[in-house]
Amino acid sequence: MSTPLSGTRAIGLVAKREFTTQIAKKSFLISNIIILIAIVGGIIAFSLFSGGDEDKSKIGLVGSQSLSATLVSNGEAIGTGVEVTEVSDEATARTRVQDGDLDVAVIPSANGGATVITNKEITTNLRAIIEGSVAGQAQSEALTAAGVDPAQLAATTAAAKVTLETLDPPDPEQGQRIALSIAAVALLYMQIMLFGTYVAMGVVEEKSSRVVELLLSTLRPLQLLWGKVIGIGAVGLLQLAAYAIAGVGTGLATGMLTVTGTAIGVLIGTVGWFILGFAFFAVLYAAAGSMVSRQEDVNATAAPLVILIVAMFGIASMSIGNPEGTLSNVLSWIPPFSAILMPLRIAAGVATPFQIVGTIVLMLTVTVIFSIIAAKIYQRSILRVGKVVSWKEAFGR
């Protein structure tokens, strides 16, 4: 006589079966390889085409070599790069501007001014660089003519600097935080929706093929339920971790991400909240799947869950631009909205340690309560084959 399986052993065997079945599918492996290549390749391509230094404005300068250094230094001072090329004469400068080889041509005049040749209106920054350089050059020459050493004057006035003190300084990492927030929200939405559906479809498949009757001859319904949830959840977690590591790793390697601590924190937070969010929805998806005998009927029983997940994603999308807003702050305390809003707030750097711990406790508490309810529905519905089990019947005695 064989020894009955312990609860932990039974759940572990079911989880292992679900995990190996999912990752062994060729479609799963191929699709994930393609997605990983797309993530890595997309980030690399973006860094190559838009992540480097911005294009420098090409200036052609006729004579006055001293003005060349002034143009470059003034450009660097305001964060606009310029590339100065010496041109032999005015006619050549005009031709090169007309042909598009140069953005502008600067032709100094005898009175200290300059004529600027361009095909179209130049940017405000470039105009400021040229005008400031010409004026500065004229001033330097006037000082020299008056017997004043411009270098000595500059050294004397160097200490007269204006110090800017900002009470609410801008976050230099804001752009990267927004990008990480968008990525976290999109990944969580996709993973929770996708793998929750996998759970429901798996339950229906076993029920329609009567495999569940064979499994329940040796397993309890709750052991089968939790084994399926844990096994499929582990696959989703593995996939999410692979996407996140590939994205963050490539971003750091290419220089697209420089906030290493923030990036790693968002990665860990996203993985952690996926576990909580998936646990909440997976048992409900399993309950929804147990109420039908055909896969095409799953949409009807799972519709409330889909609506709730879409609503979570919609609210999170609206909150990306204002993660400190009242909507985001209030709903982040309410499960299951916490599962998608808290990673967003963590990425944005506006979540306090108290809020993080508090929302985790609330999410765990509500998940346990809903798990008990879903488990009862699963037990009462899993062996009912044929018509769709109504919610009244599922909750009935």
Per the structure, the count of domains in the chain is: 2
Answer yes or no: is pLDDT of 14 > 80.
yes
Residues 20 and 69 in one domain: no
Of 136-145, 315-324, 356-365, which range is least confident? 136-145
Residue 10: Cβ within 10 Å count: 20
Domain boundary among 91, 125, 140: 140
Q: What is the pLDDT of residue 225?
A: 83
Residues 183 and 286 in one domain: yes
Distance CA 191, CA 194 (A): 5
Domain boundary among 95, 125, 140: 140
Residues 109 and 256 in one domain: no
Residues 33 and 68 in one domain: no
**Which residues are CB-contacts of 161 (< 8 A; sequence separation ≥ 6)?**
none
**Structural domain contains residue 293:** yes
Using pLDDT thresholds of 50, 70 and 90, give the confidence band for residue 2.
very low
Give me the domain span that covers residue 312: 9-41+174-395
* Percent of the chain residues topping a pLDDT of 70: 87
pTM for the predicted model, two decimal places: 0.68
Answer yes or no: is pLDDT of 176 > 80.
no
**Structural domain contains residue 146:** no
Mean pLDDT to the nearest integer, 142-165? 70
Distance CA 397, CA 390 (A): 13
Residues 225 and 278 in one domain: yes
* Percent of the chain residues topping a pLDDT of 90: 13
Mean pLDDT to the nearest integer, 160-170? 67
Position of tokens 């696959």?
A: 235
Answer yes or no: is pLDDT of 397 > 60.
no
Q: What is the pLDDT of residue 335?
A: 92
Residues 20 and 123 in one domain: no
Answer yes or no: is pLDDT of 224 > 80.
yes
Residues 36 and 72 in one domain: no
Determine contact, residues 63/115, Cβ cutoff 8 Å. Answer: no
Residue 281: Cβ within 10 Å count: 30
β 82-87/114-118 pair status: unpaired
CA 66 to chain centre: 47
**Which residues are CB-contacts of 209 (< 8 A; sequence separation ≥ 6)?**
none
Residues 92 and 232 in one domain: no
Residues 15 and 78 in one domain: no
| CATH number for position 108 | 3.40.190.10
Residues 117 and 35 in one domain: no
Q: What is the pLDDT of residue 93?
A: 81
Q: What is the pLDDT of residue 51?
A: 47
Residues 132 and 269 in one domain: no
**Structural domain contains residue 145:** no
Q: Is 117 exposed, middle or buried (0-12, 13-18, 19+ CB in 10 A)?
A: middle
Mean pLDDT to the nearest integer, 14-38? 90
Q: Per-residue pLDDT tens for 35-86?
A: 999 989 988 888 777 644 456 778 888 876 667 777 877 777 777 777 888 8
Q: Which of 79, 89, 84 is nearest to 68 (CA)?
A: 84
Mean pLDDT to the nearest integer, 259-264? 70
Domain boundary among 140, 160, 188: 140
**Structural domain contains residue 168:** no
**Structural domain contains residue 238:** yes
**Structural domain contains residue 149:** no
**Structural domain contains residue 296:** yes
Would you call 234 helix, strand, or coil by DSSP?
helix
Residues 293 and 363 in one domain: yes
Q: What is the pLDDT of residue 167?
A: 65
Answer yes or no: is pLDDT of 88 > 70.
yes
**Structural domain contains residue 167:** no
Answer yes or no: is pLDDT of 122 > 60.
yes
